[in-house]
Structure 1
Amino acid sequence: MTAETILYIVIAIVISLGVTVFMYGYKSKHSNGLRWTFGILRFITIFSILLLLINPKFRSETYTIEKPKLPVIIDNSASVRELGQDENVQQLIERLMSNSALSDKFDISYYSFGSGFAENDSLSFNERNTKISEALRSVDEIFDSEIAPTILITDGNQTLGTDYQFSVSTFRNPVFPVILGDSTTYTDLKIEQLNTNRYAFLKNQFPVEVILVYSGNGTATSQFSISQGAATLFRETISFSETENTKTLSFTLPATAVGLQKYTAQIAPLEDEKNTVNNFKLFAVEVIDQATNVLVVSDMIHPDLGSLGKSISSNEQRTVSFKKPSEAIPLLNDHQLIVLYQPDRSFSSVFSEIEKLKKNVMFITGLQTDWNFLNSVQENFNKEVSGQTEDVTARINLNYGTFAIEDIGFNDLPPLQTRFGGLNVTVPHEIILEQEINGFSSESPMMATMEIDNRRFAILDGEGLWKWRAQSFLLTEGFQEFDNFIGKTVQYLASNKRRSRLEVSSETFYYNNNPIRISAQYFDKNFVFDPRASLTISVVNTETEARTVFPLLLKNNYYDVDLNTLPAGEYRYTISVQDEAVARSGNFTILDFNVEQQFLNADVTKLQSIATNTGGSSYFITETDDLIADLLANDQFTAVQKSEQKTVPLIDWKYLLALIVLSLASEWFIRKYNGLI
C-alpha cells in the first residue's frame, strides 16, 4: 500500500472512533455494558464502510515449481511395422511411462503422428503416410516458450511434407531422435518415382517418366517393363553400378481405348534382394476422347492471364488458348467456354459471333474494362462507373448451391482492383463471392453465375487474380486449392448438361495412400440447396460383392464422405437420398500403393542431422538406457521456480461485506432484545 492509502486509513479510524465516542460515550443513557457493545459494533460498521470507500489494494505473491516438459512424439506409420520395430516401440513407451525418476524430473506428454498429429491414445502402426515435419512444427508451437526437450521415435522415412532435416532451423528446444532400425545397406532395386498424366486423349501418346534407384556393391543388370494385362508395352534392360546408381527413363505409351487404363511398372528383382515390394508400381490413366477447350480472349498482356492459364490447364482434361479479339472469331466454335478478359470496343465482333453460336461466357472485368461498351452489348449485368478505382476483398457465400465450392481463405487473400461503382446483376443469379470494402459489405457481388436459355454465364469483377494464386501458395504451400476453385468454375461453365437435383463429384480412380473422397450436392424441387437431407452411399466391391454403406456429412454447401477405409479394388457406388426417389450411381477404382513398404532401413543420416542442428543427441532403439540417463543427468533441463504476484483490491474481499452485515444485524438484535427499538 502507498503512504497516501495508509493516511486515508488512519483518518478513517479517527472518524470512526470519533463518531462512536460521540454516539455512545458522550451523554449516553445506556448501561456501561451496552455502551461498550454498541460502540464496538458501530465502530466496526463505520470503519468497514470507509475502508471499502478507500479500497486499498493488497499484493500477494505465490511460488510454484514448474518441471520442464518432455514431449514424446511417436511414429505411428506402417513403415515402423514393416521394419519390425512396432514391438520395440511399445516396450520403449512402457519403459518411459514406468520410469519414476524421469516422471519426477519431467512433465511428460505423448503424441503420435502419421499423416497428421494428435495426442497419443493408442498405437496401430497403420498410418499410410509419414509427416515428420508437421509433427516437429506442432510440438514447437505447443511448447514455444517452455523448456521442452523432445524425444522423436521414428525410422526417419518421411513420405509427406517439407524436408524435416531443414524445418528444425528455428526449433528452440533440442530433439533427441530414437532411431528405429539400423543403418545396414542392403542390395536393392526400386522404382523411386513414376510420373505420368492423370488423363490422356484417345489415339494420342502420353508421356511416362520413371526414376530407378540401385543400392548395393558392384554392378547389377535388370529389366524394366510396363505391362497392361498380359501385354508388354515397354521393355528396356538397365545396368547400374556403385557410382551410376540412378536411371531416369522417359518414353511414351499409346492411348488406344477410352476409359480407365491400368498399367504395371516392374523392374525385375535381383537374386539377393530383401525387399521386392518396391520393384512394382501400379498406375492408371483415364483415356478420354475429347478435351474441354477454353478460349481466353484478351487485348492486353497481364499476369492474370498466366494465372488463369496455369489454373485451367492444371487438369489435363482441359486445354486453354489465348487469342486477341481479331484472332478469336474463327476459333470460337471449337471451344466450350469463352473467357473475355477486360473487354472493350475491340471485342464488338467477338460478342456478335458468340451470340450467333450461343456460347457459354465468363467475363473478367477490371481497371481497363470499357463498361460503357459492356453495358450496351449484353443485358445480364451492368455497372455505372466513374474514373475512380477501389480495392475490394472477397467474402464467400456459403449458401451458394449451383456447384460445390470450398472456402480457400478468401478473407486472407489480397484485395482486387476494380472501377468504383456497384455491380448490378439484372437476371436470376447466384452469388459466389460478395464484395467487401475495408471490411464492410458493399452489398454488391464480386463473382456470380447465371443460367439463361440453356447457356451459362459468370462475371468476376476484379483485377489481380495472380495475387490470389500467389497468396494461396503461401497459405497452403501449393496452388491446388486456388486451381480447384477456378477448375470447378470452368467445369460448370463449359458444360451445357441439364442440372440434376443430385450432383455427384468423384474421380475414376484413386491411390489408396491419398485421400479418397466423394462429394455431392442435393437440391429441392426449386433447385435450392437442401442442407436438411440425409444422404448415404452404398459401395460394392465388384470382385467380392461386399457391400458397405457410409453416411455423407454436411460441409457448408455440399455433402462429403471419406472412403479411405476401403481396400484396393474396383467398386460401384450409389448415392441415395432418404425418403426421396433420387439417386446417382458410378464407378471408381482404388489402386494399391503402400509407400510405407518402400523402405529397407532407417534414415539415420537425417535423424542424426536434426539432433546435431538442435543441440540434441541421437540414439538407436537399443540405446534407450543411455537416452534416459542423459536426460536425467542434463543440468539444462531443471525445474524452474516461478512467482506470481497478484494485486487484489479490498472491494473484491467478500468477507468485509459479511462483517458489515453481521455487525449491523447484531446491533439490531441486541437493541430489540433490550427493548430499545
Structure 2
Amino acid sequence: MQTQNIGLIIIAGIIALVIALFQYMYKAKNRTKRNLFFAFLRFLSVFALLVLLINPTFRKNTYYTEKPTLVVSVDNSSSIKHLNQDQQVSQFVNQIQTNKELKERFDIKYYSFSDDLKDTISLSFNQKQTNISKALDNLDQIYKNSNAPTILVTDGNQTYGRDYQFRSNAYKQQIYPVIAGDTIKVTDTKIQQLNVNRYAYLKNKFPVEVILTYSGTENINTRFEVKSGRNMIYSQPVSFSKENNSKVINFTLAASNAGVLQYNATLIPVDNEKNKVNNSKDFAVEVIDQKTNILLISDMTHPDLGTIKKSVESNERRSLTIIKPSEVKDIDEYQLIILYQPNARFRGVYEKIENVRKNRFTITGAKTDWAFLNKIQNKYRQEITRQTEYYLPRFNANYGTFLAENIGFEGYPPLIGTFGEINVDFSHDVLLERNVGNITTNEPMLVTIEDNGLREAVLLGEGIWRWRAQNYLDNKNFESFDDFFGKLIQYLASNKRKSRLNTISESFYYGNASIKIKAEYFTKNYEFDRRGSLNIVVKNKDRETSQTIPMLLKNNSYEADLSSLSSGNYDYTVIVTGENISRSGSFSILDYDVEQQLLNADVTKLRQVATNTEGKAYFMDQNSVLIRDLIEDQRYQAIQKSKENIVSLIDWKYLLAIIIFLLAVEWFMRKYNGLI
C-alpha cells in the first residue's frame, strides 16, 4: 500500500474517533456502557465513510508468460491450383494447425494473401492476382514490435507490385519460405508480353509488339499467329534454341472498322509441352473515327504550355496545337480553344470564338490583362489591383458538373494570380477554391460555367507545371494529374447536353484487371444527389443471363465492382429507383489469367528472401524439418513479463454496504433505547 494512503487512513481513524467520543462521551450526561457501544458504532461508520472517500489503493504485480508469435501466411492465388499444389498446401497448413509442440511454443496466427492480406485461413485458390510485397508490408506493420517469425507458403510468383525480394531486406522478422510448385525446368514456349495501344484511329495502322520466350535445351521451330475471329491476319515462323531463347516481334495491324476490335495471339505449342495456357493471349483495340483537336493560344512562352500539351496528349485521342494570337485563322476544326493569359492582342480571337460559338478554357496569371478581359466578356470580373498573390488550391468535394477526384491538391504548390476579389456572374460550379497561406477563402480558383449550350472553364493562376511535377514526386508518375486534367478537357471539348444520370465505363477490360463502372446522379437542379438508390443490371450477351447489383456511394459518384464477372460480352443498364431515369452501355471482358501463365515456383527469389531475413527456405515435403527447426531455434523463447496494476484496497460496494448496515444498527438501537 502507498505511504500516503496509510497516513490518510490513520488521520481518518483519528477523526472518526474524535467525532464518536465527542458525540457520545463528551456531550453525554451519563456515561454508560451503552454510550460506549454507540460511540463504537459511530466510529466505525464515520471511519468507513472516510475510507470510502479516500479510496486507498495498493500496487499489485501480475506475472505472465508471453510466447513468441508464429505467423503463417498462405498464398491463396489461382497459380497454386494451376501448379497442382492446392492439396499439398492445405495438408501443410493442417499439419501446422494440429502440431501440439508448435502450439505450446508459439502463439500461432494465420493469414492468407493474394492481391491483399486477409486475417483468415479459408483457402479457395481462385484469386487472380498475387502481391507478396504488399502482404509483407502489412505483416511488418502488424508485428513491428513483436518477435514473430513468418512462414510464407507460396510459389513465389508475383503478378504485380514491388519486387518482394528487395522488400524483404527491410522486413523485421525472420521469413521461412515454404516453396509450393515444381522446381524442375521443363520445355515451355510462351507469350511473355504483348504491348499494344488501347486506342487507334480509323483507317490508320497501329503497332503491336510481342515478346516470346523459350525454356528448354533443344532447337525448335514453331509459328506465331494473330487471328480476328476465324480470320488469320498475321503469321510468322519462329525458331528457338538454348542460347537464342527469346524473340521480339514488331508488326502493324490495320484499324479498318470503328469500335472495339478483338484479337487472339497464339504461339503454336511444341510437342509434349506441359503448359499451353501461356501460349495464347487475347487483346483488343478501340478504333475511333475522330480525334479531339485542341487549340492553345498564347502570347508568351511559359513552362505551363509544355505541361498542358503533355497532359492533353497523354491520351492519344487528343492533339494540341500551340500558336500566337496573330497566327489564328480558322478555328472551326478545333473542339476547344485554350486561352493562356489573354491580353489586348486576343481581341480578334475572342471575336472569332463568339462568331463560331466555341467552348473555351481561360487560364489567367500574373501577366493577364484584366482590364481587357473584364471588358471583352461578361461572365466573370476580377478586381484590378496591379498586384499578385500566391494562392493554394482546395478541392471542392461537392463539385457535381462532372466526376472529379481529389488528387492531393492540399499538398500542391501555390499558383500565382492577381490579388483582388473575383466575381462570377453566370451559373457556375467551383471545382477548386483558393487559400491565401493558412487563410481559407470562398473564392474560386478553377470554375466551370455553362451558358446557353456553351461551356467555359477559368483557372485563376499560373504555374500548373509545378502541380504536374508534384504529382510525379508523390506517385512516381503523371497519371492522376493527367487523368484529372483530361476529364476537364473532355468536359469542355464536348457539346453534349448535361444529363441527370451519367455512366463511366471502358469499352473493354482485361480479365486480370479491376472492372468498375461508375455513375453520376444529379437532382433537377443538377446538384449531385447522395440520396439516390442506383442499381446496375448486367446482362451477358453470350449466355443470355443477367444479374442486378446495387451501386455504392463512393465520394461524389456511385460505383459497382464487377471484377468477379467471367470473360464475355456484356450490356448494362443503370437504373435509379423511384425515378424514370436509366442509362445503358456495353463492354467486353477479355479472357486472361496471369496466374496461369506461370509454370514453376520461383525458388531463387524465395531462397534470397530467406537469406535476407536470416531465415531458411523449405519445400513442401520438409514440414517436419521446419517444425523441428522452429522449436529448437533459441531466438524464439517465451518471456516472463510483469504488469503492475493499481488496485483499490476495499471495493466501494462493500464499504457502502457496511456504512449502511452500521448506521441502520445505530438508528435501531437509539430508537429502541428512546434516544430518538
Q: Same fold (TM over 0.5)?
A: yes
Equivalenced residue count is 675
2:131 maps to which residue? Answer: 131
2:217 maps to which residue? Answer: 217
Structure 2 CA distance, aligned partners of 1:89 and 1:313? 49
Cα distance change of structure 1 residues 68 and 477 upon mapping to structure 2, 3 Å threshold: farther
1:179 maps to which residue? Answer: 179
Percent identity over paired residues: 49
Contact 2:391 2:434 in 1 (8 A): no
Instruction: Please say if 1:485 is aligned against 2:500.
Output: no
1:355 maps to which residue? Answer: 354
Structure 2 CA distance, aligned partners of 1:197 and 1:317? 11
CA-CA distance at 1:638 after TM superposition? 1.9
CA-CA distance at 1:473 after TM superposition? 4.8
Contact 2:223 2:237 in 1 (8 A): yes
Cα distance change of structure 1 residues 477 and 33 upon mapping to structure 2, 3 Å threshold: farther
Structure 2 CA distance, aligned partners of 1:488 and 1:459? 15
1:270-309 correspondence to structure 2 within 5 Å: 270-309=270-309
2:248 maps to which residue? Answer: 248
Q: Which moved more, 1:427-436 or 1:3-12?
A: 3-12
Q: Which moved more, 1:498-507 or 1:428-437?
A: 428-437
1:469-618 correspondence to structure 2 within 5 Å: 469-473=468-472, 478-618=477-617
1:632 maps to which residue? Answer: 631
Q: Deviations over 1:465-522 (max 9, x none)?
A: 4454455456556543333222222111110012223212111111111111222223
Contact 2:366 2:388 in 1 (8 A): no
Unaligned runs of 5+ in 1: none
Q: Which moved more, 1:646-655 or 1:295-304?
A: 646-655
Structure 1 CA distance, aligned partners of 2:342 and 2:79? 56
Structure 2 CA distance, aligned partners of 1:438 and 1:573? 47
Instruction: Please say if 1:208 is aligned against 2:233.
Output: no
Q: Deviations over 1:410-435 (max 9, x none)?
A: 44555555444443322111222333
Instruction: Please say if 1:447 is aligned against 2:446.
Output: yes
Which amino acid letter does the alignment assign opposite residue 558 of structure 1? Answer: S
Q: Deviations over 1:312-358 (max 9, x none)?
A: 3332222233344444x236433212233444445444333322332
Cα distance change of structure 1 residues 63 and 232 upon mapping to structure 2, 3 Å threshold: same
1:320 maps to which residue? Answer: 320
Cα distance change of structure 1 residues 28 and 469 upon mapping to structure 2, 3 Å threshold: farther
2:169 maps to which residue? Answer: 169
Q: Deviations over 1:104-148 (max 9, x none)?
A: 222222222222222225211111111111111111111121111
Contact 1:293 1:336 in 2 (8 A): yes
What is the SS of the residue equivalent to 1:457? Answer: strand
CA-CA distance at 1:150 after TM superposition? 1.2
What is the SS of the residue equivalent to 2:186? Answer: coil
Which amino acid letter does the alignment assign opposite residue 349 of structure 2? Answer: V
Structure 2 CA distance, aligned partners of 1:370 and 1:627? 76
Q: Deviations over 1:544-581 (max 9, x none)?
A: 32223322222233222222222211222233333433
Q: Which moved more, 1:82-91 or 1:66-75?
A: 66-75
CA-CA distance at 1:247 after TM superposition? 2.2
1:63 maps to which residue? Answer: 63
2:28 maps to which residue? Answer: 28
1:86 maps to which residue? Answer: 86
Q: Which moved more, 1:39-48 or 1:487-496?
A: 39-48
CA-CA distance at 1:177 after TM superposition? 1.0
Query: With structure 2 as the length reference, what TM-score do the two structures score?
Result: 0.91
Cα distance change of structure 1 residues 290 and 242 upon mapping to structure 2, 3 Å threshold: same
Q: Which moved more, 1:97-106 or 1:127-136?
A: 97-106
Structure 2 CA distance, aligned partners of 1:665 and 1:409? 70
Cα distance change of structure 1 residues 4 and 594 upon mapping to structure 2, 3 Å threshold: closer
CA-CA distance at 1:69 after TM superposition? 1.7
Q: Which moved more, 1:1-10 or 1:615-624?
A: 1-10
What is the SS of the residue equivalent to 2:169? Answer: coil
Q: Deviations over 1:15-45 (max 9, x none)?
A: 4433433333335346644433433344345
Contact 2:178 2:617 in 1 (8 A): yes
Cα distance change of structure 1 residues 586 and 7 upon mapping to structure 2, 3 Å threshold: closer
1:676 maps to which residue? Answer: 675
Which amino acid letter does the alignment assign opposite residue 645 of structure 1? Answer: E
Which amino acid letter does the alignment assign opposite residue 531 of structure 1? Answer: R
Structure 2 CA distance, aligned partners of 1:583 and 1:613? 56
Cα distance change of structure 1 residues 287 and 636 upon mapping to structure 2, 3 Å threshold: same
What is the SS of the residue equivalent to 1:224? Answer: strand
1:41-52 correspondence to structure 2 within 5 Å: 41-47=41-47
Structure 1 CA distance, aligned partners of 2:184 and 2:159? 21
Cα distance change of structure 1 residues 420 and 652 upon mapping to structure 2, 3 Å threshold: farther
1:100 maps to which residue? Answer: 100
Which amino acid letter does the alignment assign opposite residue 43 of structure 1? Answer: F
CA-CA distance at 1:159 after TM superposition? 0.8
Contact 2:388 2:416 in 1 (8 A): no
CA-CA distance at 1:90 after TM superposition? 1.1
Structure 1 CA distance, aligned partners of 2:663 and 2:341? 83
Contact 2:572 2:584 in 1 (8 A): yes
Cα distance change of structure 1 residues 640 and 273 upon mapping to structure 2, 3 Å threshold: same
What is the SS of the residue equivalent to 1:88? Answer: helix
Cα distance change of structure 1 residues 178 and 472 upon mapping to structure 2, 3 Å threshold: farther
CA-CA distance at 1:409 after TM superposition? 4.1
2:644 maps to which residue? Answer: 645
Cα distance change of structure 1 residues 41 and 302 upon mapping to structure 2, 3 Å threshold: farther
CA-CA distance at 1:95 after TM superposition? 1.2
Contact 1:392 1:418 in 2 (8 A): no
Structure 2 CA distance, aligned partners of 1:117 and 1:457? 46
Cα distance change of structure 1 residues 325 and 541 upon mapping to structure 2, 3 Å threshold: same
What is the SS of the residue equivalent to 2:26? Answer: coil
Q: Which moved more, 1:623-632 or 1:224-233?
A: 224-233
Q: Which moved more, 1:179-188 or 1:333-342?
A: 333-342
Unaligned runs of 5+ in 2: none
Q: Deviations over 1:345-400 (max 9, x none)?
A: 45444333322332212233344444444333322223336525234241332x33
What is the SS of the residue equivalent to 1:382? Answer: strand
RMSD: 2.9
Cα distance change of structure 1 residues 659 and 577 upon mapping to structure 2, 3 Å threshold: same
Q: Deviations over 1:237-289 (max 9, x none)?
A: 33333333222222322212211111222222222321111111111111111
Query: With structure 1 as the length reference, what TM-score do the two structures score?
Result: 0.91
Contact 1:182 1:604 in 2 (8 A): no
Contact 2:2 2:58 in 1 (8 A): no
Which amino acid letter does the alignment assign opposite residue 23 of structure 1? Answer: Q
Cα distance change of structure 1 residues 422 and 264 upon mapping to structure 2, 3 Å threshold: same
Structure 2 CA distance, aligned partners of 1:12 and 1:304? 80
Cα distance change of structure 1 residues 244 and 652 upon mapping to structure 2, 3 Å threshold: farther
Contact 1:61 1:646 in 2 (8 A): yes
1:336 maps to which residue? Answer: 335
Structure 1 CA distance, aligned partners of 2:421 and 2:90? 64
Contact 1:293 1:334 in 2 (8 A): yes
Structure 1 CA distance, aligned partners of 2:208 and 2:668? 100
Contact 1:391 1:415 in 2 (8 A): yes
CA-CA distance at 1:7 after TM superposition? 5.0
Q: Which moved more, 1:3-12 or 1:241-250?
A: 3-12
CA-CA distance at 1:652 after TM superposition? 10
Structure 1 CA distance, aligned partners of 2:654 and 2:207? 83
Structure 2 CA distance, aligned partners of 1:668 and 1:419? 86
CA-CA distance at 1:619 after TM superposition? 0.9
What is the SS of the residue equivalent to 1:539? Answer: strand
Instruction: Please say if 1:268 is aligned against 2:256.
Output: no
Structure 2 CA distance, aligned partners of 1:6 and 1:470? 68
Cα distance change of structure 1 residues 432 and 57 upon mapping to structure 2, 3 Å threshold: farther
